[in-house]
Every structure is written in C-alpha cells, then in structure tokens.
Amino acid sequence: MAFTVKMAIAAMEKFNAVIEEKKEYLTDLDSAIGDADHGINMNRGMKRIMEKVRGKEYADFGGIFRDVAMTIMSVVGGSAGPLYGTFFMKFGQKLGTKSEASAGEMADALQEGLAGVMSLGKSAPGDKTMVDSLEPALRALKESADGDEAAAWNKAVAEAEKGVEATIPMLARRGRSSYLGERSIGHQDPGATSSLYLISCFRDAFLEG
C-alpha cells in the first residue's frame, strides 16, 4: 500500500483535531520554557489550513503541501509559523508531482523537511527543539522502509515519542527557551511534542488507508 494524496489530506485533518484537543497542553508546555503560545499558534494555523484545504481537489503532494506551508507561514506569528511552513514546503517540493509515495519516498521527503527546519533554525539534534522528535522519526522510517511499511510508521512514532522524552533533561540551545539557560532543563519541548503528533497523524492516516 502506498501513501496517497487522500491520506495526506486525512493526516492534516487529524493533525488539526489533535492540536485542537491538545492546545492547552502545548501551551502549558510552552509556558514553562517559552511564552505560552505554542498551542494557540498551532491551533490558529491548522484551522486556517483546513479552511483552505477542505473541499479542494489536489492532484499531487506538491499542491497540497504548498497550500499548507503558505497558510501556516502567513497565519502563525510565532517561530512555529516559519519552521513548520518551511518543513511542509520542502516536504511537498520533494514529493512534487507524485500522487503516491512509498515509505522510503516519504522518508526522503521528511528528510528534506527536517533539513529545511535545521537550516532555517540553525538547529541540530540535542538543541531541545522540534528537531529532536523529527530526526529519530526519520531515522526509524528510513531504516525500516524496505520492510513492512505499517511497521515502519509505527517505529517512527515510537522513536519520536522517545525523542520527545529525551528533550526533558536537555538544555535549550535554540529558540526562546534558550534565553532561560539552565532553567530550561527539566521541561519537555512544546515543538518536539507537536511534531510527534504530526508524525503520528501521518501514521494513523496511512494505517486507516
């Protein structure tokens, strides 16, 4: 079974719903080491994305993720806007005019998206950012893409979960939380948490077919 454009739209619907459900939790995480707006930012962005995407016909991944990227970049005032915007833009550009993708091709797109985030944010694994859940997810998806694709997606989510937990003891080196220095230690990163949700929404959309 391949990942389809229809699944991509379903994944965005799911991401919107999860963000809506978890917006207070994400904002609480951001209030500990940031400015308490990550849930609000993401919720606003995803709502507007769904207004744009719902009911539109998309022939390929490039089309839908371009709309997703442009909307979130223009609507979300915090760092999450340009970061997620760049992620979705590069992700969609890699898949381009494809309308179906294997787990390996999805991993290649994820790699482009992650590279975009890291180059824009000048961030690397271990900096206590969204990179810390996306990077382990990518590694898992890549490693197991040639076998059972459902298992590969499950592995990606499991590794992203571990990545989120691993942000707790980290010292923040990028973004607003880095202003806190040592006081950022002991708190889970909100962006890594929302990125885990994104990966699990891709997985769920894939498993549901």
Partner 1 sequence: MIGIMVVSHSADAAKGIRDIAAGMSGAGDDVPIVGVGGNDTGGLGVSVGKIFDALSEILPKSDGVLIVPDLGSSILSSRTAVGLLPPEDAARVIISDAPILEGAMMAAVEASGGSDLAAVANSAKEARDLQKSDH
Ligand X SMILES: Nc1ncnc2c1ncn2[C@@H]1O[C@H](COP(=O)(O)OP(=O)(O)O)[C@@H](O)[C@H]1O
User: Could you say which of 38, 90, 98, 139 contacts ligand X (CB under 6 A)?
Assistant: 38
Interface map 84-123 toward partner 1 (x if CB under 8 A): -xx---------------------------------xx--
User: Could you say which of 78, 82, 85, 92 contacts ligand X (CB under 6 A)?
Assistant: 78
30 lines the binding site for ligand X (CB under 6 A): yes
- How far is it, in rounded angstroms, from Cα 119 to Cα 176? 17
Nearer to ligand X, 66 or 173 (CB): 173
- How far is it, in rounded angstroms, from Cα 86 to Cα 115? 9
User: Could you say which of 41, 71, 111, 188 contacts ligand X (CB under 6 A)?
Assistant: 41
C-alpha atoms less than 13 angstroms from C-alpha of 207 in its C-beta half-sphere: 14
Interface map 22-41 toward Mg ion (x if CB under 5 A): --------x---xx-xx---
124 lines the binding site for partner 1 (CB under 8 A): no
CB contact burial 170-201 (16+ within 10 A = b; e otherwise): bebbbbbbbeeeeebeebbbbbbbbbbbbbbb
> Shortest gap between Cβ of 104 and ligand X (angstroms)?
25
> Shortest gap between Cβ of 180 and ligand X (angstroms)?
12
148 lines the binding site for Mg ion (CB under 5 A): no
SS3 for 189? Answer: coil
Q: What is the number of H-type helices and E-type strands within the chain?
A: 8, 2
